[in-house]
């Protein structure tokens, strides 16, 4: 009996670790449920965004990258999140209006979510498990500033895999494997180079 119980635990563990993003559903900006299996076969950059953040201008670079690679099987999936400095206020219609008018975004926009904590999106639970936090580049001034700010709030902030701030990005290959995590301080040229390599 004990051996059977152990086997069941192992199987459950394997099942959980093998969970694919394609098994998940999310809600779009209109509240309509969308299965991520609709994106099977495409390279994805999944981003938690905010409209009033120092990193918000990255929207322009995200749109530029999207324009360059969308016809090659690439998508940006935009998930607003208000957990960091309350920098994504407003309704979904206000967020959509801001993004389209200021940055002319055309990539898919999804419902505002939590990316950490008790109410976090199962998608981001999976992403964080697949690609843990590996720290900021402390050779970079912005990385140093982020590290200092977060360490003041929590001296052990770097000991968990939580999303640390707005515009954290996860790169998913065409088979649904989460292959890279980019902190918001990482250059968009590095992000684009990684996307190009996966699309080859």
Active site members: 53
Contact yes or no for 182/191 (Cβ under 8 A): yes
Contact yes or no for 48/81 (Cβ under 8 A): yes
Say which residues have a Cβ less than 8 Å from residue 13's Cβ, sequence separation at least 6: none
Q: Characterize 47-77 residue by residue with b for buried, 16 or more Cβ atoms within 10 angstroms of its Cβ, and e for exposed.
A: bbbbbebbbbebbeebbebbeebeeeebbbb
β-sheet bridge partners, residue 172: 44, 178
What's the distance, CA 164 to chain centroid?
A: 11
């Amino acid at each position: 009996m004990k051996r059977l119980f152990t086997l069941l635990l192992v199987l459950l563990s394997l099942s959980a670790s093998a969970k694919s993003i394609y098994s998940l559903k999310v809600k779009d900006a209109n509240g309509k449920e969308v299965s991520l299996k609709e994106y099977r076969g495409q390279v994805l950059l999944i981003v938690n965004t905010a409209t009033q953040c120092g990193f918000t201008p990255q929207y322009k670079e995200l749109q530029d990258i999207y324009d360059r690679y969308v016809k090659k099987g690439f998508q940006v999936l935009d998930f607003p999140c208000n957990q960091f400095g309350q920098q994504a206020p407003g309704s979904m219609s206000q967020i959509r209006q801001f993004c389209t008018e200021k940055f002319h975004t055309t990539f898919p926009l999804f419902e505002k979510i939590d990316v950490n904590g008790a109410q976090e999106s199962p998608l981001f639970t999976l992403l964080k498990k697949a690609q843990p936090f590996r720290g900021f580049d402390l050779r970079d001034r912005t990385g140093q500033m982020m590290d200092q700010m977060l360490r003041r709030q929590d001296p052990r902030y770097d000991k968990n895999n939580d999303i640390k701030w707005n515009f954290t990005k996860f790169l998913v290959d065409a088979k649904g494997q989460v292959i890279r995590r980019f902190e918001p301080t990482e250059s968009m040229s590095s992000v684009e180079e990684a996307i190009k390599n996966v699309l080859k």
